[in-house]
Structure 1
Amino acid sequence: MRMQIARPAYLSWPEYLAIRRGKRRWDLAAAIPMTALGLGLGLQYFGHLENDATSPIMGVDPIYVYGLATMGCGGLGYLLGPVVGGSLWRMTHRRTLARIEARDREFHQHIVKNRVDPSRQSATNPVPDYYGEKIGSLHQYRQWLRDQAKYRRKAAWPEE
């Protein structure tokens, strides 16, 4: 019989942000092998196709079309990497998933309440981290709040 350790029903903010940072790392780490896999599969498939140099594809030499398609497979793998990483992360963190999702909702409300209006952005004054994706600690959250306030002050004065 296993002894159960009592866990609090909520996550503290530092714990939540550390978990969130870890999840982001899983997403980014999964992008690397998925990119290599997509590129490898594209290379395998398009590298073994018979190509006839006398019959262009949409007016372009087939070797260039196959090369672009292979790079597209690598790009697709890069885009699927975070999906796979997020799924693997969710499978390995099932026990705390409900608490994490509750904190996610609360964190999202904080972000929505404190982020700036993007309609005032310009090429010289872009919106700083609109979705709060790069926040991984309390220090970074406070910096994000300062950046939002700085943007509000800067956007209040029209450019001349």
Structure 2
Amino acid sequence: MASILTTKVAFRSLPRAPLEPKNGIVAVATRCNSTGATPKPTPETLNWTQYLAIRRQRHRWETVASVPTALFGLQGAIVYFSAQTVDFTTSIMGLDPMMFYGLATVGITGLGYLCGPIVGSSLWRISHRKTMHLIEEKDKEFHRRIVRNRVNPSAQSYNNPVPDFYGEKIGSLHQYRQWLRDQAKYRRKAQWATEEAS
């Protein structure tokens, strides 16, 4: 018992370390208990702000990819039709050959432009493989919300068109809230029109 008391007195007489760190380094003593159990990984989640930003980015990729595919279609059509021998005395499908080749070139360029979103979406999916399962889950949930909140288009008219039926223009939470307000406004207008007709 006497040894314990002398030890306590000895510790009290030792100088205390200052609370401020020297050279910006703080020594911290930690105790590590190893129980053998590994911590459970937290499930990955994607909030709505992130999802809508990703959705907007995917739409940009699809739109931007339309330009090179249209140019590729134009170049392919020009190369193909310029290699053809043209007999100006005969018509092709009732049209002058130059008129036909010009219209065909414009058509192939348009087809290339329409293939752009497919190419852009494919490239975007390849670049976002790691998070695709999260994005697909949010896509399903977003579609369910759109279907639940969108209006019945049967009451549409020239003066009261359906506002963004598929929610394609939604790219942020602000735009989603605006979409909900537009749906409510359409419902009110449609209801007033049916009440006035009665």
Q: Same fold (TM over 0.5)?
A: yes
Is 2:14 the counterpart of 1:17? no
Structure 1, residues 108-151: CA drift from partner, whole Å, max 9, x if none? 00000001111111222211111101111000000010111111
4+ aligned runs moved over 4 Å, structure 1? none
Structure 1 counterpart of 2:175, from 137, 140, 143: 140
Two-structure CA RMSD over aligned residues (Å): 1.5
Q: Measure, in 2, the Cα distance between the counterparts of 1:63 and 1:53.
A: 8
Is 2:155 the counterpart of 1:120? yes
Q: Measure, in 2, the Cα distance between the counterparts of 1:43 and 1:126.
A: 41
Change in Cα spacing, 1:148 to 1:44, as seen in structure 2 (3 Å) is same
Q: Which has the higher contact order (CA 8 A, sep 6+)?
A: 1
Q: One-letter code of the match for 1:35?
A: A
Structure 2 counterpart of 1:80, from 92, 115, 118: 115
SS of 1:157's partner is helix
Structure of larger gyration radius: 2
SS of 2:55's partner is helix
Is 2:136 the counterpart of 1:101? yes
Tell me the TM-score normalised to structure 1 length.
0.92
Q: Measure, in 2, the Cα distance between the counterparts of 1:10 and 1:120.
A: 39
Q: One-letter code of the match for 2:46?
A: L
Q: Measure, in 2, the Cα distance between the counterparts of 1:45 and 1:7.
A: 56
Q: Measure, in 2, the Cα distance between the counterparts of 1:157 and 1:46.
A: 58
Tell me the TM-score normalised to structure 2 length.
0.75
Identity of aligned residues (%): 60
The correspondence of residues 29-40 of structure 1 with structure 2, limited to 5 A, is: 29-40=64-75
Change in Cα spacing, 1:39 to 1:52, as seen in structure 2 (3 Å) is same
Deviates more, 1:126-135 or 1:97-106: 126-135
